[in-house]
């Protein structure tokens, strides 16, 4: 999916949001309310904010260093992005509401969430782009939980808790607007995850778990990709490989079975049994292209 990630970053950088200029950081104890829209996005000036409000349907971006001294909730259909060269720190949990979208599309724009992340139905959560073997850039100090999300993409991030993705794969209007349909895939790459990883019941077009250090079990079960139209740039595949897993790995009842495509990588190092009716393909194949397991 590397070309797709680069395409998303390029499109994002050339939207109307990218016209904003960097501004000096200021203290804003009274907070900030996003008044931008999909048609006319606004920029959150650099600074420290007591709180940030993201009403339903609002759309804003961070262009510089922004710290929010409170939890952040993106209401239904709201969007918040971080430009290349910017950074965002949230002192508390992050909630991505139904149909909302949050994230950055470049590893030079770190995101730090000092609490758990929750992604609701058809929400989109994106941190970074594919950067194989690059260092950790962002941090989430709590679990990541997604229920029926459109897309969860996390790269080069330390996650201080389990990652649990249940269901999902539908469209997100903000992602469709800026990147076009077909961007609702799940991807966990080059992360350090301090807890189990579970992905079950996902119906999106692709999913990858590659080059991660997982300090707990891996479960990948009951996921089913939809039929692809003739001439699609995608192929039906799940890619899992080159991981270091401190626990068992379980793969059951996925359609297609994992690692039947071209980019599954080398077999993972699994400190535990490999289980399930797809155990033979669960952790990568030597013919993959992503390189040796993380050590």
Contacts 24+ apart (CB under 8 A), 225-231: 225/255, 225/256, 226/169
Cα–Cα distance, 87 to 266 (Å, whole number): 33
- The SS3 call for residue 158 is strand
pLDDT at 83: 87
171-182 pLDDT per residue, tens: 999 998 888 777
Number of Cβ within a 10 Å radius of residue 227: 6
**Residue 158, strand partner residues:** 139, 192
Between 24 and 274, the higher pLDDT residue: 274
| Out of 105-114, 180-189, 282-291, least confident range | 282-291
Using pLDDT thresholds of 50, 70 and 90, give the confidence band for residue 292: low
If phi > 0 it is left, if psi is from -120 to 50 it is alpha, else beta; for residue 123 that is: beta
Of 128, 158, 129, which is closest to residue 144 (Cα–Cα)? Answer: 158
| 46, 26 Cβ separation under 8 angstroms | yes
Query: C-alpha distances in angstroms, 245 versus 211, 239, 242?
Result: 10, 15, 10
214-232 pLDDT per residue, tens: 999 999 999 998 887 676 6
Cα–Cα distance, 61 to 17 (Å, whole number): 7
Question: Read out DSSP for 223-273?
Answer: -BPPPPPTT-S--S-EEEES-EESS-EEEES-BSPTT-STT--SPPEESS-
Tokens of 213: 């250090």
Domain residue ranges of the chain, discontinuous segments joined by +: 2-18+32-281
Cα–Cα distance, 276 to 295 (Å, whole number): 25
- What's the predicted TM-score (pTM) here? 0.90
Using pLDDT thresholds of 50, 70 and 90, give the confidence band for residue 233: low
Tokens of 224: 């089913």
CA 210 to chain centre: 13
Cα–Cα distance, 254 to 264 (Å, whole number): 15
Mean predicted confidence (pLDDT) in 167-171: 93
């Amino acid at each position: 999916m590397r070309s797709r990630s680069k395409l998303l970053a390029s499109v994002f950088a050339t939207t109307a949001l990218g016209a904003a200029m960097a501004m000096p950081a200021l203290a804003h104890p009274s907070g900030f309310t996003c008044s931008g829209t999909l048609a006319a996005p606004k920029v959150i000036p650099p600074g420290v904010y007591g709180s940030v409000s993201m009403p339903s349907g609002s759309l804003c971006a961070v262009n510089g260093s922004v710290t929010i001294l409170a939890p952040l909730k993106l209401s239904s259909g709201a969007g918040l992005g971080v430009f290349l060269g910017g950074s965002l720190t949230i002192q508390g949990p992050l909630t991505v509401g139904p149909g909302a979208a949050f994230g950055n599309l470049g590893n030079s724009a770190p995101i730090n969430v000092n609490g758990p992340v929750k992604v609701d139905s058809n929400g989109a959560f994106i941190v970074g782009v594919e950067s194989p073997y690059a260092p950790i850039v962002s941090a989430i100090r709590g679990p990541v939980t997604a229920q029926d999300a459109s897309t969860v993409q996390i790269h080069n991030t330390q996650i201080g808790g389990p990652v649990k993705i249940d269901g999902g794969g539908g469209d997100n209007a903000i992602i469709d607007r800026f990147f076009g349909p077909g961007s609702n895939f799940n991807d966990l790459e080059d992360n350090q995850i301090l807890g189990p990883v579970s992905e079950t019941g996902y119906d999106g077009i692709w999913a990858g778990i590659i080059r991660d250090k997982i300090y707990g079990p891996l479960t990948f079960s009951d996921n089913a990709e939809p039929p692809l139209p003739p001439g699609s740039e995608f192929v039906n595949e799940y890619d899992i490989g080159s991981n270091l897993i401190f626990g068992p790995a379980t793969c059951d009842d996925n359609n297609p079975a994992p690692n039947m495509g071209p980019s599954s990588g080398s077999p993972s190092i699994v400190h535990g049994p490999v289980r399930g009716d797809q155990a033979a393909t669960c952790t990568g194949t030597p013919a993959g292209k992503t390189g040796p397991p993380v050590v």
